[in-house]
């Protein structure tokens, strides 16, 4: 009993959520074999290979969707405050962008104003921005000025 459990663990680690048969079918088909040739190699029918392959492709598609969903939670969001924006409008624009994404920002109006004033060289002249000012925030609402890491 314990041996079977360990075998399942090693399969999960080596093939992800694919069974041994699903992995082997995808491997052989990826090498250019037909379903009939794959069936002969594995000692089963072409119809069975077809079903195994279909289920394997469904699992792969689901795994891709899962990875994409995970990546979307980790993505930084960027808002670029346009050149010429009034200084006092910046916090509202930033906070509204967080609202648009359903993210509660950890920074308040005063902190956002400080961030803008701390940008070197200054991006303000006569109460307006002199160049685009990027703000970056993550899913947790952590805000900073600058561009997201690549």
Q: Whole-structure pTM over 0.85, yes or no?
A: no
Domain ranges of the chain: 2-72, 75-145
Q: Is the peptide bond before 121 cis (omega within 30 degrees of 0)?
A: yes
What CA–CA distance (Å, rounded) separates 107 from 95?
A: 9
Mean of pLDDT values over 69-86: 84
* 23 vs 146, residue with greater confidence: 23
pLDDT of 130 higher than 50:
yes
What confidence tier does 4 reach under pLDDT thresholds 50, 70, 90? low
pLDDT score of 2: 43
pLDDT of 7 higher than 90:
no
Residues 53 and 35: beta-carbon distance below 8 Å: yes
What CA–CA distance (Å, rounded) separates 69 from 61?
A: 12
DSSP of 92-103: HHHHHHHHHTT-
What confidence tier does 100 reach under pLDDT thresholds 50, 70, 90? very high
Fold of the 2-72 domain: Arc Repressor Mutant, subunit A (1.10.10)
């Amino acid at each position: 009993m314990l041996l079977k459990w360990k075998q399942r663990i090693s399969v999960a680690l080596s093939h992800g959520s694919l069974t041994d048969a699903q992995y082997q079918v995808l491997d052989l088909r990826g090498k250019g074999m037909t379903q009939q040739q794959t069936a002969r190699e594995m000692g089963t029918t072409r119809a069975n290979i077809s079903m195994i392959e279909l289920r394997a492709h469904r699992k792969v598609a689901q795994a891709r969707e899962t990875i994409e969903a995970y990546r979307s939670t980790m993505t930084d969001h960027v808002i670029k405050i346009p050149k010429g924006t009034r200084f006092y409008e910046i916090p509202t624009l930033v906070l509204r962008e967080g609202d648009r994404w359903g993210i509660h920002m950890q920074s308040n109006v005063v902190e956002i104003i400080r961030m803008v004033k701390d940008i070197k060289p200054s991006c303000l002249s006569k109460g307006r921005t002199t160049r685009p000012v990027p703000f970056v925030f993550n899913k947790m609402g952590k805000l900073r000025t600058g561009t997201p890491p690549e």
